[in-house]
């Protein structure tokens, strides 16, 4: 896969931690010029940690930092103009609006759709004309879209919308390829706040899913890079969930 990444330009939106950080690191390791974009470039630079940031000549492989706010179309335009020609565009942006329906606030629901759906549409709008031949876009859905539960209505709706959006954009932007990844329970750092409850969740999940384990960052990153670089995959949602949809 490194041959497909060598010399390419990859943009990872909201890629400062977890899954996005792993994709950025693996892209850079494969020889791509990687731009990690987030609302706060300073925070992005700080959380990337040991990954190489900036300090490279234009076009060199490595990781750069940029600013973007998916709720601000102007910042998306500015990012597209800064990047220029792009080969691979990944958005792992997410904003949670979980909880019982009676407690949901409209602004939180809008932010959730801005992050995963409206923002993705605007990324496609402004980066679409800038893709190089063989370029691809990758969005992130999630298992809750197929396994909804009380209190996660908004997450289920945005994840489902992302899957349909990938198919629609694959048609509209063709021959640019557009796909989505739908992760299951992944040890990405997102569950660390559960404390001791994290291991209990992981054990329960592993006992249920056919793969008999939870996912690792490498599982998602390898699937993401495959979806980006395989020239005959488009319009698909790739489920990387250990079979959780069938558990």
- Is the pLDDT at 59 greater than 70, yes or no? no
- The helix/strand count (H/E) of the chain reads as 9, 7
Could you say which of 3.40.50.720, 3.40.50.300, 3.20.20.70, 3.40.30.110 is the CATH number of the domain covering 2-189+216-236?
3.40.50.720
Burial of 162 (C-beta count, 10 Å sphere; 0-12/13-18/19+): buried
The domain locations on the chain are 2-189+216-236
Instruction: Locate 117 and state its tokens.
Output: 């759906």
Q: pLDDT band for 87, please (50, 70, 90 cuts).
A: very high
In this model, does residue 53 exceed pLDDT 50?
A: no
Find the radius of gyration of the CA atoms of the chain: 17
- The mean pLDDT value for 40-48 works out to 81
Q: What is the pLDDT of residues 131-154, one digit of tens each?
A: 999 999 999 999 999 999 999 999
pLDDT of residue 47: 72
User: Mean pLDDT for the chain?
Assistant: 93
pLDDT above 90 covers what percent of the chain?
Answer: 86
């Amino acid at each position: 896969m490194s041959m497909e990444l060598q010399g390419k330009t990859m943009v990872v939106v909201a890629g400062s931690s977890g899954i996005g950080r792993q994709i950025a690191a693996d892209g850079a390791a494969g020889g791509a010029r990687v731009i990690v974009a987030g609302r706060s470039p300073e925070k992005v630079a700080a959380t990337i940690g040991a990954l190489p940031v900036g300090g490279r000549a234009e076009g060199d492989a490595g990781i750069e930092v940029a600013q973007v706010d998916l709720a601000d179309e102007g910042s998306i335009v500015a990012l597209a103009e800064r990047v220029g020609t792009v080969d691979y565009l990944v958005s792992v942006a997410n904003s949670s609006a979980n909880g019982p329906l009676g407690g949901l606030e409209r602004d939180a629901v809008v932010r959730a759709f801005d992050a995963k759906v409206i923002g993705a549409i605007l990324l496609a709008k402004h980066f679409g004309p800038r893709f190089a031949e063989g370029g691809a876009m990758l969005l992130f859905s999630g298992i809750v879209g197929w396994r909804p539960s009380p209190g996660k209505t908004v997450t289920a709706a945005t994840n489902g919308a992302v899957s349909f959006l990938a198919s629609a954009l694959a048609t509209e932007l063709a021959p640019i390829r557009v796909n989505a990844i739908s992760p299951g329970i992944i040890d990405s750092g997102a569950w660390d706040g559960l404390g001791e409850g994290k291991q209990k969740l992981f054990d329960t999940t592993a006992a249920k899913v056919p793969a008999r384990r939870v996912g690792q960052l490498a599982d998602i990153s390898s699937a993401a890079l495959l979806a980006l670089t395989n020239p005959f995959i488009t319009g698909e949602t790739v489920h990387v969930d250990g079979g959780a949809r069938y558990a």
